Chain A
Amino acid sequence: MSEQPYRRPPITEAIIEIRYAAPIEPVHLERGDVDFRPNYPFQQPTVNYGVAVGVSASTGNEPVTQVNRSDGRRLSSMDQTELILLWPQSFIVAQLAPYPGWDNFFGRFARDWKTWKRGVGYRKVARVGVRFINRIDIPQVNRVIEEADYLNAYAKLPDEFGPVIAYGVQAQFLPDDKGCRLTLNSASVPSPLLDHGSVLLDLDVGVETNPPQNDEDIYTLLNEMRAKKNAAFEACVTHRARELFQR
């Protein structure tokens, strides 16, 4: 189903990620600048650093630091809402708000995935994932927002503690019969709107066990993941929240 049920969907970012079992050679990332330039005229290098520090008896209890560097490319449209990130280990298509609807977003992914595969050829897929980050902006009353009025997933705490200043909730669920695992993150965040509080609702659906390897199966799975994500979102929000998305 492709209809957009909300006038103002609270989606701040939508992501489709295909992760590889083995890294792609740097030459393909560099060629991505050329291949994607017609739709993504702005390109810049991007770097991811992972740092691990270990101490063990074998090193005489001296800390040993390992820095892992990953070089990628960030490609964007003129208005910075349509993005591609090319990493050695993953191909990511991202959409910032305003969200144009699944048909448009998925269509862009399919187009760009074809372009990418023309260059890199078949590579073993290790994970297929869909992630939607929502920010729900809630009007405050006397500097307080009642989260339970808008969300069904939040930190439930004893009333005796009084109002919270901040919270974070993380949950991961068992994979379903298609191997889709849902990860939910939710947290209060500073609101970009005056007189509002905001809550992030981050829903990630991914398959890591025997993910599909051909395009048609990947597309089918992505559509199923999107439906699962939608069901999760609807389960997490109340009717009052839906009213906010229709204003």
Chain B
Amino acid sequence: MTSIVVRAERTSLGQSSDLLTSLEPALSLQTREIARRIQALQNQPSLGSPSADTPHPSTEKPLHENLFDALAAVKVLTSQVAMHLNSDWRAKLFHQLDSLHDPAEWEEGDLPVQQASFATFLKAMLTINPARHPGLGLSHAGNLVAAWTTGKDRLTIEFMLHDRVRWVLSLHYEDGLVRYAGDAPVTRLAEGLAKHDPEHWFSRAPENREHP
């Protein structure tokens, strides 16, 4: 039975053709013809999606165009996992993203949402799958920031490049305020939050629910 080992590195269908190219001087005419026909079978890349790279803000483009490009890129990224998302939340998420990138509210010098950060955010949200969704913000560097607030208690998570997250919790107890902070791969986020009663943040319980 064929099994696939799941690895983090990207692979490309083109790798085999690169290998053939380098070997070509050693191959027979017949083998080269077979390779050419295989190459011809490859479909053209999908034309429905733009490049997956975050467009670098151009100083030549007006602000609203740069913001639009960044928004378009993350909306296309969202479509890649839309089959796993609740449609109501998807609409709300887009509204929040539009609001964060309103040119009238834009802070000069800030970067718009970075695709790599947004990809980390989507991975986290699809894993945590909270019933209560976060408020959103943006760091100066364009990292998406998600915030849950339960009474006076606060959970803030910043989604960074390379599938990393950092978070901080503020919890109010009778004897005072306690803060916890973490910095980890997104694969460890759920584990990192597990010891702090995730339901306190992610459930739709009343806002004045006390932390145990």
CB-based contact A98/B83 at 8 Å: yes
> What's the tally of chain A residues with a CB closer than 8 Å to chain B?
66
**B19 at interface by CB-CB < 8 Å:** no
Q: A165-B11, A170-B42 are in contact. Are A192 and B122 (CB under 8 A)?
A: yes
Give the residues in chain A near B3, CB-CB below 8 Å.
144-147, 162-164
A240 to B2, CA, bound (A): 16
- Interchain Cβ contacts within 8 Å, total number: 144
Contact sample, A vs B, 15 pairs, CB 8 Å cutoff: A8-B84, A10-B83, A79-B94, A80-B79, A97-B82, A98-B83, A147-B4, A163-B5, A164-B3, A170-B42, A172-B41, A191-B6, A193-B127, A194-B126, A194-B186
User: Within the complex, what minimum Cβ distance (angstroms) separates B190 from chain A?
Assistant: 9
A interface residues, Cβ below 8 angstroms from B: 8-13, 15, 17, 42, 46, 74, 76, 79-81, 83, 85, 92, 94-99, 131, 133, 135, 137, 140, 143-148, 154-157, 159, 162-168, 170-172, 183, 185, 187-197, 199, 202, 204
CB-based contact A155/B2 at 8 Å: yes
Give the residues in chain A near B126, CB-CB below 8 Å.
192-194
CB-based contact A13/B49 at 8 Å: yes
CB-based contact A164/B42 at 8 Å: no
User: Within the complex, what minimum Cβ distance (angstroms) separates B45 from chain A?
Assistant: 10
Which positions 131-169 of chain B face chain A at CB distance < 8 Å? none
CB-based contact A190/B10 at 8 Å: yes
A166 to B81, CA, bound (A): 21
A172 to B40, CA, bound (A): 11
**B23 at interface by CB-CB < 8 Å:** no
Most buried by A among B2, B72, B75, B123: B2
Name A161's closest neighbour in chain B (CB-CB): B2
User: Within the complex, what minimum Cβ distance (angstroms) separates A33 from chain B?
Assistant: 15
CB-based contact B6/A9 at 8 Å: no
User: Within the complex, what minimum Cβ distance (angstroms) separates A173 from chain B?
Assistant: 11
**B28 at interface by CB-CB < 8 Å:** no
Interface size grouping (class) on chain B: 35 or more
Q: A42-B68, A85-B47, A140-B6 are in contact. Are A194 and B123 (CB under 8 A)?
A: yes
Q: A163-B3, A194-B126 are in contact. Are A96 and B76 (CB under 8 A)?
A: yes
A9 to B175, CA, bound (A): 51
A92 to B44, CA, bound (A): 13
User: Within the complex, what minimum Cβ distance (angstroms) separates A41 from chain B?
Assistant: 11
CB-based contact A164/B49 at 8 Å: no
Give the interface SS of chain A, mostly helix, strand, loop or mixed: strand
Name A158's closest neighbour in chain B (CB-CB): B2
**B22 at interface by CB-CB < 8 Å:** no
Give the residues in chain B near A11, CB-CB below 8 Å.
83
Given contacts A94-B48, A144-B6, 19 further A-B contacts (CB under 8 A): A12-B83, A13-B48, A81-B75, A96-B49, A98-B85, A137-B84, A148-B2, A154-B2, A156-B2, A164-B2, A167-B2, A168-B16, A170-B41, A171-B41, A189-B11, A191-B6, A192-B81, A193-B126, A194-B186
Of the candidates B2, B13, B81, which one forms a contact with A147 in the assembled complex, judged by CB atoms under 8 Å apart? Answer: B2
CB-based contact B38/A170 at 8 Å: yes
Q: A85-B47, A147-B2, A168-B16 are in contact. Are A192 and B42 (CB under 8 A)?
A: no
User: Within the complex, what minimum Cβ distance (angstroms) separates A52 from chain B?
Assistant: 13
Give the residues in chain A near B127, CB-CB below 8 Å.
193-195
Of the candidates B4, B7, B87, B186, which one forms a contact with A98 in the assembled complex, judged by CB atoms under 8 Å apart? Answer: B87
CB-based contact B11/A166 at 8 Å: yes
Which positions 65-123 of chain B face chain A at CB distance < 8 Å? 68, 72, 75-76, 79-85, 87, 90, 94, 119, 122-123
